[in-house]
Structure formats: structure tokens, C-alpha cells
Chains A and B, each alone.
Chain A
């Protein structure tokens, strides 16, 4: 606003006064309850006062001081503003501008909605083509949705055509692998071991490919990778909220329609969900993009809440595993659960790092994180020894190798992160080292997931 304010004609002799008024403006503007328009109004007042005082013989700086003094204690004034406009203390997200002339945001929403509808049509086609073979749908759903999300970012970030072409080729290759490999199916039409692994690991590969588009092609840049991590966390939270709201709407519609004898289910499954799910993803991504610098990230707040709770959980698990051992009877499910726990710990670590001020000195929370990672590693070590003895006894299967491999990938990530974190907490390393390791390691997950998708089929005879 202040840029649009026409400045009064001023001679060089008032330069000091102008500077003082600018400083005052900046000082007032820091109060959240006072908007720039209010500051404009008060500045007009201040200038009127200064003009009158100088006309009566005061020097510029004297007049300024008197005028500021008469304006009153800013804390009290700002409290009064806050009492009048309590809503201003809550940041409001303006998604599309109210003023005419700024058509960019509307156009962006148009692009997002068009892509969402296109993705919905694609899912619908897939649904009809799959018929009774649900596996076709499960295998391809992610290919029908994520490329459209990538399309949004490619459009927004003006990603070079070359990069887009390479990514599309990689996506197409993955789609071919997943669909053409002769995976053996289970007895009831459910996927076999390697088939299931391929289906569950493709989203990871595609998500990291999406990261390349999100970074506008600059995927080697650590800060851009961290941005993608932040985006992912916020998107998950927004999607959960949208799903909650959508679920409520569907439930109310379902209940009401069933009372008057209309069966809502065919429409829900055939039309609503195929369009609603990609729509939620794209709109969620658009919301996260729009709110980026307006609303505080929520994922780091959640990590603060859950880090201490997770430590308690891990210590309880550690004791339970030790007391109830030996763990000879446990199945690979333990390994999968351990992977899930390590992923959770990793998320807690990653999201608190993503929000940390790199220049702030190490504090109690950094030590808490160290305890968290240490506890996770201890629990994992107990489970892993049990699993290794069992694997040595009964041999490898695709599932065990996949779970074990992921466990190792996570272990390397966490052990080194703990080491760097310890160095930082003791003041031996800058925080940048901790942050850089997190972003450097991310592609390893994509690589591992790609290996599981592409190589596990042939290695384990598509069992």
C-alpha cells in the first residue's frame, strides 16, 4: 500500500523528517492488529500535526517528536485496534484477489481445475476399462493422477521441455514395467508378493519425480528439495482436512438420500470418487502453493507435539521387546512395523529441521530429537537382530528383502543424521550440515523404490 501512496513534494531540507516518518511507519506496521491502511491514516495525522507544529516555529525533529508523543503509547493504541478488530490477529488466507486487475490467481485456479477434471476423466476411463479386474485400476491409479499434478507445477514453474520429456519418459517406462511384467497373481485375484511390492513402491518413485518438477528442474538444489519436503507435509495435512470435509458431505448426502429411498452408492463409486480424489489432490496442492508465505506451516507444529510422545512410545516398545523376547516367533510384520516407526521418526526429524532457523543456537529441542533418534535406533536394533536370525534360518523372500532393504536405507539416514545432530548440539558443527544431509539423502529413497519396482520381479521370478 505504501508504495502506491503518493508522496508529498518535499525539499531536501525535509529529508531527515521523511526518514523518521518512514522509520515510524515500519515500527507501527509491525503490529499485527494495525493494517497498512490504518498506518496510512495515522501517517496522515502525524504529518498534519508536524506541519502545524513547524508552522508555529518548531524544528522538524522537535515537531516529529511531539507529534509521535501525542500519538500515544503504541502498545496501548495497538491493543485498542486489536480490541476493535480481533479478527486481524488471525491471519486470513485470501485465495483470489478481491480487487480487479490481478487475474493471475484466477487463471491459476482455472488451470488447476481443468487439470483436475482431465485427471478425473482419465481415472474414469481407467475405471471403465478395468471392469472387474480391480488390479488394473490399483496399478494405474497413481499414473492417472500424479502426472496431472506434475503438469500444474510444470506450467507454474515453466519447467524446460527437455526436463519434462525425460520425466514423462521415466514415468511411461515405470507404467510399462508395472503393467507388462508377468507378475504372478494370488489365488483370489489379489497381487502376488513382487506385484504388490511394485504397486506399493511406484508412488514413491513418482512422488520424487514430481519433486523434480516442483523444483522447476533445479532438483540438485538443497533448498528446493527442502521446499518440496515442506510442500509434501503441508499437502498431506490439507488433504486430510479436505478428505474429512468431503467425507462429512458424502455421509450427509448418503444418509438423507437413503431415507427417501435413493441409492447413492452407484453414483458415488462410478462418478463422484473418480473425480473427487484427483480434484482433492490438485486443489490441495493449489492451496498449499497459495498459502505458502501467508499461513504458518502446520507440520512443524505437529512435530513439536509428537516428538516427546513418540519418545515415550519408543521407550515403552524397547522395554516390551526386551522383556517379551526372545523374538523367534515374530514374523516379517515386525520388520514392516519397524520400517513404519523409522519413517515416522524420520518425518518428525525432517519436518522440525524444515522449520528450524539455521542460525539459532542448539536448544533443548535439538537434544530431544537426538533422544528420539537414539530410541528409534535402539528399538530397531533389537527387532533387526531378531529378524536377521530368523531370515538366516528360513531364507529370503521378496517381502523380507524389501522390508530389510528399506530398514537399512532408513538406518543409514538416521544414524548419520544422529551423528550430525550430536555435532551440532555440542556446538561442533553448523546447522547447515544437518540440513544438507537430509536433502542430499532423499534421492536414495527414490532409487531404492525404483529397484524394488523394476528389479524385484525378475530377481524373485515374479512370485
Chain B
């Protein structure tokens, strides 16, 4: 399924921070986790993950360290910081509001083929 890029962009930060809240991780593993969580339906452009991670690092939400992978390759690990956890909590509250509102809207709207196409 193709998901609108604005929606991807808006959900990317809480998703990444949420994944890192479980424990430190690295680029490819984060992406795999996103795939697992969405059952493969959320497809990110892989390369875009890195500018995002760097932005989170600059904002102080995550901390990056260089380590090595199992085969001895340089690998950059990211861990969430206290500021990142605060942001995550804040985003979670925001998303809860949005998602509540949307849920009520979905109940009011009669599902139909014309409407569904309009939203696609």
C-alpha cells in the first residue's frame, strides 16, 4: 500500500523514537522494525531515514556512537536521550488526540467506493 508522503513524514519521528525507546539500534534494524510493525505495508525510502536520524541527533533526541557490526564493519548506533523520551511522550499525546478525532470521523462517514478513491 502506498502511504502519502506527508503522513510518512509526520509519523516518522515518533516511530523512530518509539523504536529506540525499546533499546539502542542502528539504521537498517530500525527500518526492519518499521516494516515488521506495519506488516510490510509502510514502505519508507531507505535513504531518507539517515537525514532524519541526523536531525534527531542534532535536536538532542538521540545520541549516536560508532561501533562495529558482527562482521567487523563500522556501524553507527543510535540511543534515545531523556529529551527524546520527553518528545516521544509529547508526540504520543498529540497522536492520541488526532487518532481519537479520526476514529469518530470514520464512524460518521459511510464507507463507499467513491469516497475511498477520493482518499487514496
How large, as a class, is the contact surface on chain A?
A: 20 to 34
Residues of A within 8 A of B49 (CB): 45
Instruction: Determine the main DSSP class of B at the interface with A.
Output: helix
The answer to whether A83 and B51 touch (CB under 8 A), given A5-B73, A5-B74, A44-B69, is yes
Q: Nearest chain B CB to A271's CB is how many angstroms away?
A: 46
Residues of A within 8 A of B109 (CB): none
CA A81 to CA B51, docked complex, whole Å: 5
Contact with B along A46-82 (1 / 0, CB 8 A): 0111001000000000000000001111101100110
Q: Nearest chain B CB to A445's CB is how many angstroms away?
A: 53
Contact partner of B47 (CB less than 8 A), chosen from A8, A77, A85, is: A77
B91 at the interface (CB under 8 A from A): no
B46 at the interface (CB under 8 A from A): yes
Residues of A within 8 A of B93 (CB): none
Chain B residue, CB-CB nearest to A41: B76
Please count the residue pairs between chain A and chain B whose beta carbons lie under 8 angstroms apart in the complex: 74
Q: Nearest chain B CB to A34's CB is how many angstroms away?
A: 9
CA A85 to CA B58, docked complex, whole Å: 10
How large, as a class, is the contact surface on chain B?
A: 20 to 34
Contact with B along A1-22 (1 / 0, CB 8 A): 0000111110000000000000
Does A45 lie within 8 Å of B58, measured CB to CB?
no
CA A44 to CA B77, docked complex, whole Å: 11
The answer to whether A44 and B26 touch (CB under 8 A), given A9-B71, A49-B46, is yes
Residues of A within 8 A of B71 (CB): 8-9
Q: Nearest chain B CB to A100's CB is how many angstroms away?
A: 16
CA A8 to CA B71, docked complex, whole Å: 6
Q: Nearest chain B CB to A28's CB is how many angstroms away?
A: 9
Q: Nearest chain B CB to A38's CB is how many angstroms away?
A: 6
Chain A residue, CB-CB nearest to B58: A84
A42 at the interface (CB under 8 A from B): yes
A40 at the interface (CB under 8 A from B): yes
Does A77 lie within 8 Å of B31, measured CB to CB?
no
Given A45-B31, A48-B28, output 12 extra A-B contacts at Cβ < 8 Å: A5-B74, A8-B71, A8-B73, A38-B50, A38-B54, A41-B50, A71-B46, A72-B45, A77-B50, A81-B50, A81-B51, A84-B51
- List chain B positions with a Cβ less than 8 A from chain A: 26-29, 31-32, 45-51, 54-55, 58, 68-69, 71-76
